[in-house]
A and B are shown apart, each in its own frame.
Chain A
Amino acid sequence: MKRSTILFSLALTFASAGAAQAATLDDIKARGSILCGVSGGLAGFAQPDDKGNWNGIDVDFCRALAAAIFNDPTKVKFLPLTAKDRFTALQSREVDLLSRNTTWTSSRDTQLGFNFAGVIYYDAQGFMVRKSAKVSSALELSNTTVCTQSGTTTQLNLADYFRSNNMKYEAVVFNTADEVIKAYESGRCDVFTTDVSQIYAERLKLAKPDEHMILPELISKEPLGPLVRHGDDQWFDIVKWTLFAMLNAEEYDISQKTLEQRLKSDRPDVKRLLGIEGNYGEQFGLTNDWIVRIIRHVGNYGEIYDRNVGEGSRLKIDRGLNKLWNKGGIQYAPPVR
């Protein structure tokens, strides 16, 4: 009797696991929260504070999604993932999306079975060395030992760069960002390399940040953005347009401060964006005021940039390429129509 019940329920569990290919949005609504894969602890991008609250631009992006879906930015569960584990976690449905300073590359977009929703941060790979080493260019790094993290584009760009410049090097490859920076600090390596934004963040972990400098060469393009699995276009659209919404909001000067006032605007494009006209939100299975929710709870792109990595943060990274297209950068979102 008992045994057969167990058997039957087991069969059910597995059958439903097989059949649970339903829309991600429905899963999220049923679950009551978004599962968001983030970095394990990278200042400015995703880092828990002493109370366990997550902060960072990648974190805020997932909060924006929660605001859009649930009108509640706290309905996100953050899963810290190492560079090495992140893709299997997404493939195996452990998370609904990765918002984890991940570079958009062709193989990840195709072979690994993912779709990138856009670029939240245009980055590039750089090198950090000790000032005492007295080098001023990456081309002087021949015969060095370089610390880096496993399973990153960093590891591959590094090999490309040294190889194409005919420089000898030794790469010591670790699993987590903490291990990499510790090994660099201990003197195991002469050079620390990763995306420049992350060098800024990791440099803060060093005992004496001032004794280290970032070399001028940028050796790669690192467009970082959120990504989802192949096979669910609705969810892909939601993630993609949430990012666009935050960029468009900045472009139309809709921020946490100006929201109430902009809601009274009679410009048709602003009205469409804020769901006063048209059915922009319902097109994705959300409500029409979804962008209002995002701005109210989280803010526009400029705000989350500034708060987490820009002037309002410890990192103070210049916006550079990440300025809007009409302000001298390349951040550009398609129009709402």
Chain B
Amino acid sequence: MSCTPPSDSAPSTTAPTAATVHTLPEHILEILSDSGEGAQKCGQSFGAVSAKMGNGAWTVEIIPAEIQPPPRTPEGASGVRIRIGTDEVTNWGNRTKLVIAFNEQVLLSRHRVQALADDAIILIENMWETHADANIRQAWADAFAELSTANYRFIQVPMEEECLKIVDNPRRGKNMFALGLMSWIYHRDVEKVKDQIAMQFRHKPKEVYERNVRLLEAGIAWAQTHLDFRFDIPTGDVSEDLVVMNGNTALAMGAVMSGLELCSMYPITPATSVSHYLSSIFDDMGGVVHQAEDEIAAIGVAIGASYAGKVAFTVTSGPGMALKTEFIGLAVMSETPLVIVDVQRGGPSTGLPTKVEQSDLLSTLFASPGDSPKVVLAPSTIEECFHCMITARQIAETFRAVVVVLSDANLATGQQPFSRPKLQANWHALEPNLGPVKDGHQPFGWDAETGLSQRIVPGRLGGQYTATGLAHNEDSHVSYDPYNNQRTSAMRSRKLAVLQSTLEPPRVVGPESNDLLLVGWGSTRGAIEEAAEKARAEGLGVSSTHLTFLSPLQPGLKEIFSRFQHVMTVEINYSDEADDPYINEENRRRGQLSWLLRATTLVDVDCWTRVLGQPLSPGDILQVIKKKLS
């Protein structure tokens, strides 16, 4: 095995070679560094510029689990995968075709999880090969031995050396140099890149901007002199106004637009950035982010505010949801409207804090003491992260219900361009009317058929009542009467059926009846639909549907399922494999949505799920489809 990488473009000072331009409909690239070297900023800037040029784009952060992982370790890999295309891009795709790596160890981490295409081009910092420290030289050699199992094309780049010509501390400059490389390779509009840099450093002195531009230009110049290839991803036409942001920012903006004026939270990855962004804008917009002492207090404060007339929300992730369960029960019992955002991460326990999973569906539905029916929505795109907040708040108020929005780490940190929302005043909550309460208006005057009742907020003359988590009657008086409890449980449950009666059946993408129906929910939509489309192109009978309402479920599922030979959910959560040891038809623990669908439709819904801590790839789903239909 060779210990030096086979490099076909060693640094040289010769004149630029004429680069071959490859025009492609899409491409996937990654930039990888140690944590703190700025690969994420660089990658996100590249994604934003690509979107601004009119490319479809989807970025996914590769996040180390620790704040200060040791440098030059596979675990410390930090970076971004960017998939750009001529058309809309809805997921992170399959394997990466081009990598810029600041050291061989971070590259190794991606190699080991088979994230890279076999023929990927890898631009790698070359300083380590000849490093003074023998251990580092050895590590480099060992890594290349391991990497040699693939047919990567390596290009050594003297990043450190080039950056040192401009800055003293290349750790703080390499990412801009790399952005220059990428900009040249992908024909990026340099002015737009500079605008992006200017925006990034808008709070810093002008010299900082200028230094970064010099680094960028150095990267471009180096690429021009040394590389023999370029990629051209033609841009589609951008006919409408677009914005590009991550799902957490979109959620925060949606919350403001929906009229939620209190976000009560406790920090937890990957939900926290909702509150970071919100904190930077909310005060000026008449809202408050309250960082409570824990997740229990966070939801308690939100319920208190909501009871007092201002619908509030709390944002958290799985472990926080677990702590909130008792209070969720109180909100359900006292019929206090409430919006809860759960940005799901890997579990159980502290699990994989920065990674994606869709494992909170069943706990959201069923955790909380007793029967506590609640509404559950799941946005499936970053755009929907914005819009779903408006719907969630409206449903919460109309139905006096707890509405849980299940997002996930993939939506939270991914960036995608989408149509700029045309903001409408009607999306905003109405202020509570504090007029007097009519004689005989009861705080829980349930309509016997629908379970709906009109809320009374404090301040209304003649409406005095005490909300309580104890079983109670129409007047909110504590009642231990057995029939009262049966009836009021029915009233709270009925609201879900009533809400369901307003819902439309989900849309089926592909033929209305077919061999296989894939069913998904949340952030996996893009990958599932892309895989199903590819499969159809290959002549396979696959359709897909994506559920955005999970409680109540959209109607008509049983009928839709009946038109397909097989129904299978595709999810990012754990399920036993049917052929695993000890596993049989009866004891198999299934994907969470399939569990739910089997129970509600009595259809034999199969599942394919993974908990790799990463988004699903269309290619993997395609394999699953083929296996299922073979």
Q: Do A and B associate with each other? A: no
